[in-house]
Amino acid sequence: MAELKIGRMVIGAYGTNCYIVYREGGKEAIVIDPADRGEQIYETLAGKGYTVSAIFVTHGHFDHIWGTKALRELSGAKIYALGASEKLCENDGLNVSRQAGRPYTVVPDVYVEDGEEICIADITCKVLATPGHTADSCCYYFAEAGFLVCGDTIFQESVGRTDLPTGSGGMLERSVREKIFTLPDATQLYPGHGDSTTVEHEKKYNPFF
Protein backbone atom coordinates (compact mmCIF):
# COMPACT_ATOMS: atom_id res chain seq x y z
CA MET A 1 0.00 0.00 0.00
CA ALA A 2 1.30 3.46 -0.92
CA GLU A 3 2.54 5.71 1.86
CA LEU A 4 0.10 8.13 3.47
CA LYS A 5 1.18 11.76 3.06
CA ILE A 6 0.05 15.13 4.44
CA GLY A 7 0.46 18.56 2.88
CA ARG A 8 -0.28 22.01 4.25
CA MET A 9 -1.63 25.24 2.79
CA VAL A 10 -1.52 28.29 5.09
CA ILE A 11 -4.43 30.40 3.93
CA GLY A 12 -6.89 33.10 4.90
CA ALA A 13 -6.72 36.25 6.96
CA TYR A 14 -6.01 34.26 10.13
CA GLY A 15 -3.23 32.06 8.78
CA THR A 16 -5.26 28.87 9.07
CA ASN A 17 -3.54 25.59 8.31
CA CYS A 18 -5.50 23.66 5.71
CA TYR A 19 -4.25 20.07 5.46
CA ILE A 20 -4.39 17.74 2.50
CA VAL A 21 -4.14 14.00 3.25
CA TYR A 22 -3.49 11.63 0.37
CA ARG A 23 -1.67 8.48 -0.66
CA GLU A 24 1.60 8.85 -2.50
CA GLY A 25 0.93 8.35 -6.18
CA GLY A 26 -2.83 8.53 -5.68
CA LYS A 27 -5.25 11.16 -6.94
CA GLU A 28 -7.83 11.34 -4.13
CA ALA A 29 -7.44 13.68 -1.18
CA ILE A 30 -9.11 14.57 2.09
CA VAL A 31 -9.14 18.30 2.86
CA ILE A 32 -9.14 19.33 6.53
CA ASP A 33 -10.25 22.86 7.53
CA PRO A 34 -10.54 24.79 4.23
CA ALA A 35 -10.42 28.18 6.00
CA ASP A 36 -11.95 30.87 3.76
CA ARG A 37 -10.52 29.77 0.40
CA GLY A 38 -12.62 26.88 -0.84
CA GLU A 39 -12.25 27.93 -4.46
CA GLN A 40 -8.49 28.34 -4.19
CA ILE A 41 -8.07 24.92 -2.59
CA TYR A 42 -10.20 23.25 -5.24
CA GLU A 43 -8.39 24.93 -8.12
CA THR A 44 -4.98 24.12 -6.66
CA LEU A 45 -5.78 20.44 -6.17
CA ALA A 46 -7.63 20.09 -9.47
CA GLY A 47 -4.66 21.65 -11.22
CA LYS A 48 -2.49 18.88 -9.81
CA GLY A 49 -4.97 16.21 -10.84
CA TYR A 50 -6.45 15.54 -7.40
CA THR A 51 -10.07 14.83 -6.56
CA VAL A 52 -11.41 16.05 -3.20
CA SER A 53 -13.04 12.99 -1.66
CA ALA A 54 -14.04 14.48 1.71
CA ILE A 55 -13.92 17.70 3.73
CA PHE A 56 -13.15 17.34 7.45
CA VAL A 57 -13.72 20.10 10.01
CA THR A 58 -11.82 20.10 13.32
CA HIS A 59 -14.21 22.62 14.87
CA GLY A 60 -16.80 25.16 13.80
CA HIS A 61 -14.95 28.47 14.17
CA PHE A 62 -15.35 30.77 11.18
CA ASP A 63 -11.68 30.80 10.20
CA HIS A 64 -11.85 27.04 9.67
CA ILE A 65 -15.25 26.73 7.94
CA TRP A 66 -15.75 29.82 5.74
CA GLY A 67 -14.54 27.87 2.70
CA THR A 68 -16.56 24.69 3.27
CA LYS A 69 -19.62 25.39 1.13
CA ALA A 70 -17.62 26.58 -1.87
CA LEU A 71 -15.35 23.53 -1.71
CA ARG A 72 -18.34 21.20 -1.34
CA GLU A 73 -20.15 22.80 -4.26
CA LEU A 74 -17.13 22.58 -6.55
CA SER A 75 -15.99 19.10 -5.56
CA GLY A 76 -19.18 17.32 -4.58
CA ALA A 77 -17.42 16.05 -1.44
CA LYS A 78 -19.25 15.63 1.86
CA ILE A 79 -18.43 17.71 4.93
CA TYR A 80 -17.68 15.83 8.17
CA ALA A 81 -17.78 17.39 11.65
CA LEU A 82 -18.14 16.27 15.26
CA GLY A 83 -21.74 15.74 16.35
CA ALA A 84 -21.51 17.72 19.61
CA SER A 85 -24.71 19.10 21.15
CA GLU A 86 -23.53 22.60 20.26
CA LYS A 87 -23.27 22.49 16.49
CA LEU A 88 -21.12 25.57 15.90
CA CYS A 89 -21.12 25.12 12.13
CA GLU A 90 -24.84 25.84 12.13
CA ASN A 91 -24.82 28.87 14.46
CA ASP A 92 -23.18 32.15 13.41
CA GLY A 93 -23.07 33.38 16.99
CA LEU A 94 -21.33 30.34 18.42
CA ASN A 95 -18.92 30.06 15.49
CA VAL A 96 -18.05 33.77 15.92
CA SER A 97 -18.55 34.56 12.21
CA ARG A 98 -21.20 37.16 13.06
CA GLN A 99 -18.79 38.93 15.41
CA ALA A 100 -16.11 38.74 12.70
CA GLY A 101 -18.36 40.70 10.33
CA ARG A 102 -19.24 37.91 7.91
CA PRO A 103 -22.06 35.75 9.31
CA TYR A 104 -21.78 32.19 8.03
CA THR A 105 -23.36 28.84 8.68
CA VAL A 106 -23.02 25.45 7.05
CA VAL A 107 -24.80 22.17 7.69
CA PRO A 108 -22.30 19.28 7.53
CA ASP A 109 -23.37 16.23 5.58
CA VAL A 110 -22.10 13.81 8.22
CA TYR A 111 -21.83 14.29 11.97
CA VAL A 112 -19.29 11.88 13.47
CA GLU A 113 -18.80 10.70 17.04
CA ASP A 114 -15.88 10.18 19.40
CA GLY A 115 -14.00 6.99 18.59
CA GLU A 116 -15.60 6.57 15.17
CA GLU A 117 -13.42 5.34 12.32
CA ILE A 118 -13.79 6.99 8.93
CA CYS A 119 -12.58 5.22 5.80
CA ILE A 120 -12.45 7.29 2.61
CA ALA A 121 -10.32 6.91 -0.53
CA ASP A 122 -8.41 4.01 1.04
CA ILE A 123 -7.51 6.28 3.97
CA THR A 124 -8.61 5.47 7.52
CA CYS A 125 -8.62 7.77 10.52
CA LYS A 126 -10.15 7.80 13.99
CA VAL A 127 -12.17 10.69 15.40
CA LEU A 128 -11.07 11.92 18.82
CA ALA A 129 -13.49 14.32 20.51
CA THR A 130 -11.38 16.98 22.24
CA PRO A 131 -13.76 19.64 23.64
CA GLY A 132 -12.26 22.68 25.29
CA HIS A 133 -11.37 25.23 22.63
CA THR A 134 -14.97 24.69 21.53
CA ALA A 135 -17.54 22.09 22.48
CA ASP A 136 -17.34 20.59 18.99
CA SER A 137 -13.55 20.38 18.75
CA CYS A 138 -12.13 17.12 17.50
CA CYS A 139 -8.92 15.64 16.11
CA TYR A 140 -8.37 13.16 13.31
CA TYR A 141 -5.84 10.42 14.09
CA PHE A 142 -4.16 8.69 11.17
CA ALA A 143 -2.55 5.83 13.09
CA GLU A 144 -1.02 4.20 10.02
CA ALA A 145 1.17 7.25 9.40
CA GLY A 146 1.54 8.31 13.04
CA PHE A 147 0.04 11.79 12.82
CA LEU A 148 -2.86 13.69 14.34
CA VAL A 149 -4.59 16.72 12.84
CA CYS A 150 -5.55 18.54 16.02
CA GLY A 151 -7.18 21.83 15.04
CA ASP A 152 -6.96 24.49 17.74
CA THR A 153 -6.88 22.09 20.68
CA ILE A 154 -3.11 22.21 21.07
CA PHE A 155 -0.35 24.17 19.36
CA GLN A 156 3.42 24.06 19.53
CA GLU A 157 4.04 24.90 23.22
CA SER A 158 0.58 26.45 23.54
CA VAL A 159 -3.14 25.65 23.48
CA GLY A 160 -6.28 27.06 21.90
CA ARG A 161 -8.05 29.92 23.62
CA THR A 162 -11.06 29.05 25.75
CA ASP A 163 -12.72 32.44 26.19
CA LEU A 164 -15.00 32.19 23.13
CA PRO A 165 -18.50 30.60 23.13
CA THR A 166 -18.56 26.97 24.42
CA GLY A 167 -14.88 27.14 25.43
CA SER A 168 -13.69 25.54 28.68
CA GLY A 169 -10.18 25.47 30.10
CA GLY A 170 -10.90 22.44 32.26
CA MET A 171 -12.32 20.48 29.37
CA LEU A 172 -9.39 21.40 27.14
CA GLU A 173 -6.87 20.19 29.74
CA ARG A 174 -8.70 16.88 30.10
CA SER A 175 -8.94 16.47 26.34
CA VAL A 176 -5.21 16.94 25.85
CA ARG A 177 -4.19 14.71 28.75
CA GLU A 178 -6.68 11.92 28.02
CA LYS A 179 -6.87 11.93 24.21
CA ILE A 180 -3.62 13.42 22.88
CA PHE A 181 -0.96 12.72 25.51
CA THR A 182 -2.00 9.04 25.55
CA LEU A 183 -0.94 8.65 21.92
CA PRO A 184 2.60 7.39 21.13
CA ASP A 185 5.27 10.01 21.91
CA ALA A 186 6.43 10.07 18.30
CA THR A 187 2.98 11.08 17.02
CA GLN A 188 3.27 14.17 14.84
CA LEU A 189 0.76 16.89 15.73
CA TYR A 190 -0.57 19.16 12.99
CA PRO A 191 -2.38 22.14 14.55
CA GLY A 192 -4.81 24.64 13.08
CA HIS A 193 -2.23 27.44 13.22
CA GLY A 194 1.54 27.48 13.39
CA ASP A 195 4.12 24.74 13.01
CA SER A 196 3.82 21.03 13.67
CA THR A 197 5.12 19.40 16.83
CA THR A 198 5.06 16.01 18.56
CA VAL A 199 3.36 14.49 21.57
CA GLU A 200 6.75 13.99 23.22
CA HIS A 201 7.74 17.63 22.73
CA GLU A 202 4.48 18.95 24.16
CA LYS A 203 4.64 16.69 27.19
CA LYS A 204 8.08 18.14 27.96
CA TYR A 205 7.76 21.78 26.95
CA ASN A 206 4.12 22.88 26.80
CA PRO A 207 3.76 25.30 29.75
CA PHE A 208 0.03 24.60 30.04
CA PHE A 209 0.61 21.03 31.24
| Contact yes or no for 138/151 (Cβ under 8 A) | yes
Confidence of residue 155 (pLDDT cuts 50, 70, 90): very high
Confidence of residue 1 (pLDDT cuts 50, 70, 90): confident
* Whole-number Å distance between alpha carbons of 4 and 67: 25
| Contact yes or no for 129/141 (Cβ under 8 A) | no
Domains located in the chain, CATH noted: 4-205 (3.60.15.10)
**Per-residue pLDDT averaged across 141-162, rounded?**
98
pLDDT given for residue 181 in this prediction? 98
What is the separation of C-alpha 209 from the centre of its chain, rounded to a whole number of angstroms?
A: 22
Q: What is the pLDDT of residues 84-98, one digit of tens each?
A: 888 999 999 999 999
Does the pLDDT of residue 150 top 80, yes or no? Answer: yes
pTM: 0.97
| Contact yes or no for 78/72 (Cβ under 8 A) | yes
**Per-residue pLDDT averaged across 32-42, rounded?**
97
pLDDT given for residue 85 in this prediction? 80
Across all residues in the chain, what is the average pLDDT? Answer: 97
pLDDT given for residue 13 in this prediction? 86
Does the pLDDT of residue 100 top 80, yes or no? Answer: yes
**Per-residue pLDDT averaged across 55-81, rounded?**
98
Report the DSSP pairing between strands 78-82 and 51-56: parallel
**Per-residue pLDDT averaged across 165-193, rounded?**
98
Q: What is the pLDDT of residues 41-65, one digit of tens each?
A: 999 999 999 999 999 999 999 999 9
**Per-residue pLDDT averaged across 18-25, rounded?**
96
